[in-house]
C-alpha cells in the first residue's frame, strides 16, 4: 500500500443534550477526522479524545501536532505500508495512543477496502448484531435521572450505566433500582473520582447488585484497584487504566479488575484491542466495548469489535441518536435493543459529503 494523501478535518457537532461526567461537561463533539488516500482505496478514522485533556492526557490540538510532526513522517517513510507495520513504526514515539489509533484505523480502513474485507471479518466477529447499553450522565436531580433512564429503556436499551462521582452515587443508584427493579442490568462509572479512602463508602453500592463499578480510582493506581476489589462485592472494571494487552494482563494478575472496558482508541487501535480481548478471554475475564461519544465514523468499527466472542456484556455502543440529532454518517439505529454490525468493507461506513461539509470547521493536509 502506498500512501498518497493524508488530510485532517476538524469537525464540530452539537450534542442533543449536555453530557456530564465526573471530569467535565460536553455540549458538542469537537474533534478531527483523518482521511487517507492510498493507491488501493481511501480510509477514514476519528480521533476519540476532546479539546481538553480531562478523560485522558491526550487532546485535539496535541494530537494534531503529534500526528503532523511525529507519526505521519514515520509512517510515510516506510518502504511498504501495511496496518501491521504501523505500530512498530510508531513505537519510538512514547504514548499518544489515541493519536496512533486514529492513524492506524484510517490506514487499516483503506487496506481492508482494498481487499473488500469488513473489519468485522478481520477481527473475528461472531455476531451480526450486538446488545446495546447506554451511558447516562450526571444530572444532579433524581427525578430528571429517572425520566432519562425511563426514556432510554423505552427506546430499548438493554443495560444502563450511570456516571457517578462523590455526592452523586448511592442515592441515584438506589432510586434507579427502586423505580426500574432488580432485574435491570445496571452499572456505574466513576472516571477516577474516588480514592482508596472511599472504600467503605463504595461498599454501600454492594447491596444494589450492580454488574460492575468502572474505574473508581486513578488511571495509574493498579495496586489501589486490587486493594479496593478485595473490599467490594461489586466487580471492579477498568477503563482508563487499560492501555495495552500488557496492562490488561497485569491488571488481571494483580486482581485489580474482574471486567475490562475495551476502547480501541485508548489502547492504540483495533489490533491491540483484539489482543486485549484475547488476553481477557484466556483468563475468563468478560470484556465490553466502551465509547467516546463517537460519530458514525468511530461507532461503526466499535460495533464490529463488540461482536467478538469475548464481548459478553452489553457495551456503550448506543445509537447515533443518543448523542447526535444528525450524525456525520448514515445514523446507527437501535433495533430490539441491538445494533447491527456493519458488513461493508473497511470500517463499513463513510461520512456523508454534504453533512461533513457543514460540520467541518477547517482542513489541513498532513501529507501529499
The Cα–Cα gap between 250 and 230 comes to 16
29 is catalytic: no
Size of the site for ligand OSB (CB under 6 A): 11
From the list 147-155, 252-260, 269-277, 290-298, the region that binds ligand OSB by CB under 6 A is: 290-298
Task: Pick one of 189, 221, 272, 294: the residue that binds Mg ion (CB under 5 A).
Answer: 189
Contact 277, 267 (CB under 8 A): no
Task: Work out the angle at residue 153's Cα, subtended by the Cα atoms of residues 232 and 173, and round it to the nearest 5 degrees.
Answer: 30
Cell for 52? 481538553
How many other C-beta atoms are found inside a 10 Å radius of the C-beta of residue 116? 11
**Catalytic residue selected from 29, 100, 161, 263:** 263
Contact 291, 26 (CB under 8 A): no
Task: Pick one of 192, 243, 318, 349: the residue that binds ligand OSB (CB under 6 A).
Answer: 318
User: Alpha helix locations (H) across 190-348?
Assistant: 199-202, 222-231, 245-254, 270-282, 296-305
Residue 215 CB, nearest approach to Mg ion (Å): 5
3 state DSSP class of 137: coil
Interface with ligand OSB, residue 135, by CB under 6 A:
yes
Residue 108 CB, nearest approach to Mg ion (Å): 24
Task: Pick one of 58, 104, 109, 239: the residue that binds Mg ion (CB under 5 A).
Answer: 239
Interface with ligand OSB, residue 320, by CB under 6 A:
no
Burial class (CB in 10 A: 0-12, 13-18, 19+), 109: buried
Interface with ligand OSB, residue 290, by CB under 6 A:
yes
Residues 185-204 that bind ligand OSB (CB under 6 A): 189, 191
263 is catalytic: yes
Q: Which residues pair with 163 in a beta bridge?
A: 189
**C-beta of 168 vs 359, nearer to Mg ion:** 168
**C-beta of 46 vs 111, nearer to Mg ion:** 46
Site residues (CB under 6 A) for ligand OSB? 55, 135, 189, 191, 239, 290-293, 316, 318
Residues noted as catalytic: 163, 263
Amino acid at each position: 500500500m502506498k500512501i498518497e494523501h493524508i488530510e485532517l478535518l476538524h469537525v464540530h457537532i452539537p450534542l442533543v443534550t449536555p453530557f456530564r461526567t465526573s471530569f467535565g461537561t460536553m455540549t458538542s463533539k469537537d474533534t478531527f477526522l483523518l482521511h487517507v488516500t492510498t493507491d488501493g482505496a481511501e480510509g477514514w478514522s476519528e480521533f476519540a479524545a476532546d479539546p481538553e485533556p480531562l478523560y485522558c492526557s491526550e487532546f485535539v490540538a496535541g494530537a494534531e501536532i503529534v500526528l503532523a510532526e511525529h507519526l505521519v513522517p514515520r509512517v510515510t517513510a516506510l518502504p511498504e505500508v501495511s496496518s501491521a507495520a504501523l505500530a512498530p513504526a510508531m513505537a519510538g514515539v512514547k504514548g499518544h495512543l489515541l493519536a496512533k489509533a486514529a492513524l492506524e484505523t484510517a490506514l487499516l480502513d483503506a487496506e481492508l477496502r482494498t481487499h473488500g474485507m469488513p473489519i468485522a471479518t478481520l477481527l473475528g466477529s461472531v455476531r451480526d448484531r450486538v446488545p446495546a447499553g447506554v451511558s447516562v450522565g450526571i444530572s444532579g436531580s433524581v427525578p430528571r435521572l429517572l425520566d432519562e433512564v425511563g426514556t432510554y429503556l423505552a427506546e430499548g436499551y438493554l443495560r444502563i450505566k450511570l456516571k457517578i462521582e462523590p455526592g452523586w452515587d448511592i442515592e441515584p443508584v438506589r432510586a434507579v433500582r427502586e423505580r426500574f427493579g432488580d432485574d435491570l442490568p445496571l452499572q456505574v462509572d466513576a472516571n477516577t473520582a474516588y480514592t482508596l479512602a472511599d472504600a467503605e463508602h463504595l461498599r454501600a453500592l454492594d447491596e444494589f447488585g450492580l454488574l460492575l463499578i468502572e474505574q473508581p480510582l486513578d488511571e495509574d493506581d493498579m495496586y489501589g484497584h486490587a486493594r479496593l476489589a478485595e473490599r467490594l462485592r461489586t466487580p471492579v472494571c477498568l477503563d482508563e487504566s487499560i492501555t495495552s494487552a500488557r496492562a490488561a494482563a497485569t491488571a488481571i494478575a494483580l486482581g485489580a479488575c474482574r471486567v475490562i472496558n475495551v476502547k480501541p482508541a485508548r489502547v492504540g487501535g483495533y489490533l491491540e484491542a483484539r489482543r486485549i480481548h484475547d488476553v481477557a478471554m484466556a483468563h475468563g475475564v468478560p470484556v465490553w466495548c466502551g465509547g467516546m461519544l463517537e460519530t458514525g465514523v468511530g461507532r461503526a468499527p466499535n460495533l464490529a469489535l463488540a461482536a467478538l466472542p469475548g464481548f459478553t456484556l452489553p457495551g456503550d455502543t448506543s445509537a447515533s441518536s443518543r448523542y447526535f440529532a444528525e450524525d456525520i454518517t448514515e445514523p446507527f439505529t437501535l433495533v430490539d435493543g441491538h445494533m447491527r454490525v456493519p458488513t461493508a468493507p473497511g470500517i463499513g461506513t463513510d461520512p456523508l459529503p454534504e453533512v461533513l461539509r457543514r460540520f467541518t470547521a477547517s482542513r489541513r493536509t498532513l501529507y501529499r
